[in-house]
Amino acid sequence: MVVASARANIALVKYWGKRARKLNVPSAGSLSLTLAALETRTSVRLVEEAEQDSFRLDGQQSSEKARHRVSAFLELVRRMVGRREHAHVESINAFPTGAGLASSASAFAALAKAASEAYGLDLALKELSILARQGSGSAARSIFGGWVRMYAGFREDGLDAYAVPLEGLEMELSAVIAVVQGGEKQVGSTEGMEQTRTTSPYHDRWLQLVNMDLEACVSALQTKDFERLAEIIEGNCLAMHADAMAARPGVIYFSGATLWAIHQIRALRASGTPVCFTVDAGPHVVALVHPEHAASVASVLGAHPEMDRVIITTSGDGVRTESGDEAV
């Protein structure tokens, strides 16, 4: 049995749109920060006699849908190595489940590591990133810790679509995650992306913008220019949501509490706190902030009656195997 852990990430320059659906290849690059608190631990044990794969999530039998998604991923690994045994997979999230935070990024990064080793594959980090991408696009980034850049590549087989760590950046930011109640009810990212790609009049423009924002974001991180970084992160997030909202029918992830939190963060920045916001495919708001201001931002964001909780986290490490012979 192999146990691996991985941590989710928050995209500063977003991935929104696929150029090849089957291999889950993004249309453009993206840039993220891996987050320590959003950890998934996963164990994979091969079971020779089993007739199908089994999957337990947070100590309970998973849904059939989740089991199928895990099984399809294990099938990719089995095909790579030419083996047939089924496996038993157990995953535990270190963050509240059912809140819409359960990220596919930490899940598929941990599963890529644990499953590849359980089936006897010794993959380099680049290959692990390519494998994890096929489970979920953002999982390709969670193979690495800290600041990470994803490349969309050009090849049809997706072998040049993987993430790399951005080394040598000294900028330290914490994330304050304002978790909005009822956040689990949302349009899934694949469905939202496809609807946007096929019907939004802004989608081509969005993809052009991502390429510009990527370069600008790397340079703002290198020069530790927080004001510039805030402008890029917020602009990129709002452009992604504008693209999604302009789909027909529009894909709307914001709730009232999302907009409230956005305004609070902007007011804090206007009064001198180095903080900015981003929002993924759900209502939760992630504030990126200099670590010394994380607690005060959290207390402001936690004040809204629809806020379920606020999680403060530093940046986290990439995927790793964990010792121990117990299932997680």
**Residue corresponding to tokens 């047939």:** 84
Beta carbon of residue 121, minimum distance to ligand PMV (angstroms, whole number):
22
Q: Assess 56 for contact with ligand PMV (CB under 6 A).
A: no
Q: Which lies closer to ligand PMV via its Cβ, residue 15 or residue 277?
A: 15
Q: Assess 14 for contact with ligand PMV (CB under 6 A).
A: yes
Closest to 138 in 3D by CA, of 314, 10, 313: 10
Q: How many helices (H) and strands (E) does the chain have?
A: 8, 14
What is the distance between the alpha carbons of residues 42 and 44, in angstroms, rounded to a whole number? 7
Q: Assess 138 for contact with ligand PMV (CB under 6 A).
A: yes
Q: What 3-state DSSP class applies to 261?
A: helix
Q: Which lies closer to ligand PMV via its Cβ, residue 123 or residue 152?
A: 152
Q: Assess 180 for contact with ligand PMV (CB under 6 A).
A: no
Q: Which stretch binds ligand PMV (CB under 6 A): 13-21, 35-43, 178-186, 258-266?
A: 13-21
Q: Which stretch binds ligand PMV (CB under 6 A): 14-22, 65-73, 79-87, 302-310?
A: 14-22
Cβ atoms of 324 and 41 within 8 Å: the answer is no
Q: Out of 5, 136, 186, 200, point to the residue binding ligand PMV (CB under 6 A).
A: 136
Q: Which stretch binds ligand PMV (CB under 6 A): 134-142, 164-172, 266-274, 284-292?
A: 134-142
263, burial (CB in 10 Å: exposed 0-12, middle 13-18, buried 19+) = exposed
Cβ atoms of 319 and 110 within 8 Å: the answer is yes
Q: Assess 189 for contact with ligand PMV (CB under 6 A).
A: yes
Closest to 306 in 3D by CA, of 273, 284, 322, 291: 284
Q: How far is CA 145 from the centre of its chain?
A: 12
- Residues 278-307 within binding reach of ligand PMV (CB under 6 A): 280-281
My answer on whether omega of the bond before 249 falls inside 30° of 0, hence cis, is: yes
- Residues 21-40 within binding reach of ligand PMV (CB under 6 A): 30
Q: Assess 11 for contact with ligand PMV (CB under 6 A).
A: yes
Beta carbon of residue 105, minimum distance to ligand PMV (angstroms, whole number):
6
Which residues, at least 6 apart from 325, have a Cβ–Cβ distance to it below 8 Å? 1
Q: Which lies closer to ligand PMV via its Cβ, residue 30 or residue 40?
A: 30
Q: Out of 17, 137, 283, 316, point to the residue binding ligand PMV (CB under 6 A).
A: 137
Q: Which stretch binds ligand PMV (CB under 6 A): 70-78, 121-129, 130-138, 296-304?
A: 130-138
Q: Which lies closer to ligand PMV via its Cβ, residue 5 or residue 136?
A: 136
What is the distance between the alpha carbons of residues 190 and 251, in angstroms, rounded to a whole number? 12
Q: Which lies closer to ligand PMV via its Cβ, residue 176 or residue 187?
A: 187
The alpha carbon torsion through 66, 72, 74, 80 (nearest 10 deg) reads -160
Q: Which stretch binds ligand PMV (CB under 6 A): 9-17, 66-74, 194-202, 298-306?
A: 9-17
In Å, how far are 35, 100, 142, 181, 280 from 284, measured between CA atoms?
15, 8, 19, 9, 7
Beta carbon of residue 84, minimum distance to ligand PMV (angstroms, whole number):
28
What is the distance between the alpha carbons of residues 67 and 169, in angstroms, rounded to a whole number? 39
Q: Out of 15, 144, 226, 260, point to the residue binding ligand PMV (CB under 6 A).
A: 15
Q: Out of 104, 174, 273, 313, point to the residue binding ligand PMV (CB under 6 A).
A: 104
- Residues 223-282 within binding reach of ligand PMV (CB under 6 A): 280-281
Q: What is the largest CA-CA distance in the chain?
A: 63
Cβ atoms of 24 and 136 within 8 Å: the answer is yes
Residues that bind ligand PMV (CB under 6 A): 11, 14-16, 30, 104-105, 136-138, 189-190, 280-281
